[in-house]
Chain A
Amino acid sequence: MEKIPILRMGNLLLVTIQVDLYDRLAENLEADLVQAINKTGAQGVLIDISAVSIIDSFMGRIIGNIATMSKILDAETVVVGMQPAVAITLVELGLPLKGVLSALNVERGIELLTNKIQYKDNDLREMDDGDIE
Chain B
Amino acid sequence: MVILNKETMTITREVDVIPFRNRLKEYAVKVGMSLVNQTKIITAASELARNMLKYAGGGIAIIEVVSKGRENGIKLTFTDKGPGIPDIKMAMKDGFSTGKSLGLGLPGTKRLVSEFDIQSEVGKGTTVTVTKWKNG
B-binding residues in A (CB < 8 A): 20, 22-24, 53-58, 61, 83-86, 88-89, 92-95
Contacts and interface: CB of A to CB of B under 8 A. Distances in A.
Contacts of B47: 56-57, 93
Interface in B9-65: 14-15, 17-18, 21-22, 25, 35-36, 38-40, 42-43, 46-47, 50
Contacts of B14: 22-24
B103 to A, nearest CB: 9
Contacts, number: 68
Given A56-B50, A94-B94, A86 B39 contact: yes
Given A85-B39, A92-B112, A94-B108, A58 B18 contact: no
A95 B40 CA distance: 13
Given A54-B46, A58-B50, A94 B15 contact: no
Interface residues of B, number: 27
Given A57-B102, A94-B107, A22 B40 contact: no
B40 to A, nearest CB: 5
A88 B108 CA distance: 12
B73 interface: no
A23 B43 CA distance: 13
Choose among A23, A84, A86 the residue with the greatest number of B CB atoms under 10 Å from its CB: A23
A61 B39 contact: no
Given A20-B21, A89-B36, A95 B104 contact: yes
Contacts of A84: 36
B39 A54 contact: yes
17 contacts: A20-B18, A20-B21, A54-B43, A57-B101, A57-B108, A58-B101, A61-B102, A85-B38, A85-B39, A89-B36, A89-B43, A89-B112, A93-B43, A93-B47, A93-B109, A94-B104, A94-B111
A24 B50 CA distance: 12
Given A22-B14, A54-B39, A92-B108, 6 more contacts: A22-B18, A56-B50, A57-B102, A83-B39, A88-B36, A92-B112
A93 B108 contact: yes
Contacts of B39: 53-54, 83, 85-86, 88-89
A58 to B, nearest CB: 6
A51 to B, nearest CB: 14
